[in-house]
Amino acid sequence: MLSEIIGVFIVIFSSAVLGSMIGVGGGFLIVPLLTLGLGIPIHNAIALSLLSIIAVASSATITYASSGYIDYKLGLILETTTVLGAFTGARICILLSPSILMITFGVLLIYVGYRMIKKIEFKEAKLRELPLNRLLAGIISSFFAGLSSGLLGIGGGILKVPIMVLILGMPTRVAIGTSEFMISITSASGSYVYYKAGILNTALAGSAIIGGFLGAQLGSRLGIKIRVELIRMIFGFIMLIFSMSMILRGLGIWI
Amino acid sequence: MDLKFNRVYPVILFTILIISLILSLAGIIYNFIDPGYSMYIMNLGVLVLYIAPFASISSIFIKGVYNRDYTLIGLSIILLIIIGLNMVQLGLPSL
């Protein structure tokens, strides 16, 4: 039991450090590492990942809120559908078999890995006023960001930030701050479904919370001092390796 | 008000996180003394963490009331209702 507690702490702490350094939650690293590395069943790994993301995102929200980089009104508008997506996603996840979840996660990791290696700069859609059709598009796509969060145990920032920048025309920094604020609510909603279903391993929850919080604090400080381009590239390649491993494991091929 | 809110809101969030962190750490340490009781403490730590989003939304609700921003008030109430209804449907938390 002690080895599991230490293992979960190391995985979540290091993922949160790396994730916060390059501005993502770390869920993309946590789930594969817990599943492939520590042999924790994928449903439990997703539940632990979401729990640690609450701590990571809340910790980041503290920083962004003090700097005034959160658009609360737009965040709450988008969060209404994101929360519904997270509740739905988590409910679907419980019904899915581990192999289907692994393949789905693996496919999503290919996209994340590609985005990490080939850094895509989003051109802000500078809008004087937000047209209703763009707002509706943002609200609908936020549902799918929430769905992926609840289903796969990720924060969903990788989807939320592009939605806010490209569709809603928010400045990137405000989009990141608002996304972190939203993630803290989304991940708690998704995590609660796992908690009530008895999938969240309470014995390991403590190390997930501590690892997530401390990792996020250290990572956000290191990210300012260190050039993160190389780390981003390495992170991308690791994602691609993980994606292959997850897909193969999902297909029943063990390597 | 916005400047005051930007100072107060992080403090509220930080306090909740610290309480959850302390309970989690106490739970891990207590695991060596009484594993059964340690589950109870860790469970409490998890439940405290679940308060964080409610604290966020409630803080924004208060900000809306203070600024007489009815959009903010309405949105925070809608969100609280959505989360609340889902939680009731799933079953309220218990120790």
pLDDT tens-digit series, residues A24-33:
767 888 988 9
CB contact under 8 A, B21 and A195: no
Q: What is the ipTM of this complex?
A: 0.90
Average pLDDT, integer, range A227-231: 72
Q: Name B14's Cβ contacts closer than 8 Å, sequence gap at least 6.
A: A62
Q: Where are the domains of chain A?
A: 2-250
Chain B contact for A77 (CB, 8 A cutoff): yes
Q: Helix/strand/coil (H, E, C) string of A218-229?
A: HHHHHHHHCCCH
Q: Which residues of B touch A207 (CB under 8 A)?
A: 24, 28
A55 touches chain B (CB under 8 A): yes
pLDDT of residue B65: 92
* Low-confidence winner among A77-86, A238-247, B47-56 (lowest mean pLDDT): A238-247
C-alpha A43/C-alpha A93 separation (Å) is: 8
Domain housing B80:
2-90
Per-residue pLDDT averaged across A17-27, rounded?
76
**Which DSSP symbol is given to A122?**
P
Check CB contact of A195 with chain B, cutoff 8 Å: yes
Position A207: which residue type?
Answer: S
Asked, for residue B15, whether it belongs to a domain, the answer is: yes
Q: Which of B24, B63, B87 sits opposite A210 (nearest CB)?
A: B24
Residue A86 pLDDT class (50, 70, 90 cuts): very high
Look at A119 and B83; give whichever has higher pLDDT.
Answer: B83
Query: CA gyration radius for chain A?
Result: 17
Three-state secondary-structure class, residue A127: coil
Global pTM value: 0.90
Give pLDDT, residue A243. 87
Residue from the list B14, B42, B63 with its beta carbon closest to the beta carbon of A202: B42
Say yes or no: B86 contacts chain A, CB-CB below 8 A: yes
Q: Nearest chain A residue to B17 by CA: give it.
A: A55
The confidence score (pLDDT) of residue B19 equals: 94
Q: What is the pLDDT of residue A81?
A: 93
- Tell me the pLDDT band of A127, cut-offs 50, 70 and 90: low
Q: What is the mean pLDDT of residues A210-234?
A: 79
Taking residues B78-94, what's their average pLDDT? 88
Q: What pLDDT sits at residue B74?
A: 94
- The whole-angstrom separation of Cα A151 and Cα A179 is 18
Taking CB atoms and an 8 Å limit, are A206 and B83 in contact across chains?
Answer: no
Please report which confidence band the pLDDT of residue A173 belongs to, taking 50, 70 and 90 as the band edges: confident
Percent above pLDDT 70 for chain A? 93
Query: Residue ranges of the alpha helices (H) in chain A?
Result: 2-22, 27-32, 42-67, 72-95, 98-117, 132-152, 157-162, 172-196, 202-225, 229-250
Share the mean pLDDT of chain A.
85
CB contacts of B82 in chain A (<8 Å) are 80, 83-84
CB B10 within 8 A of CB A65: yes
Nearest residue to A35 (alpha-carbon basis) of A24, A46, A23, A21: A46
Q: Is residue B95 a part of any domain in this protein?
A: no
Give the total number of structural domains in chain B. 1
Establish if B54 belongs to a structural domain: yes
Q: Does residue B64 belong to any structural domain of this protein? A: yes
In a domain, B18, yes or no: yes
Interface mutation vs chain B, best among A73, A178, A192, A194, most B CBs within 10 Å? A192
Question: Is B6's Cβ below 8 Å from some Cβ in A?
Answer: yes
B50 inside domain: yes
**pLDDT at res. A23:** 65
Please name the residues between 15 and 54 in chain B that touch chain A, using a CB distance below 8 Å.
16-17, 20-21, 23-25, 27-28, 31, 35, 38-39, 42-43, 45-46, 49-50, 52-53
Report yes or no on B63 lying in a domain.
yes
Of B25, B52, B60, the CB nearest to A206: B25
Q: Which of residues 160-189 of A touch B (CB under 8 A)?
A: 181, 184-185, 188-189
The alpha-carbon gap from B7 to the nearest alpha carbon of chain A, in Å, equals: 6
Q: Does B77 touch chain A (CB under 8 A)?
A: no
Question: Is pLDDT larger for residue A254 or for residue A231?
Answer: A231
DSSP state of A24: S
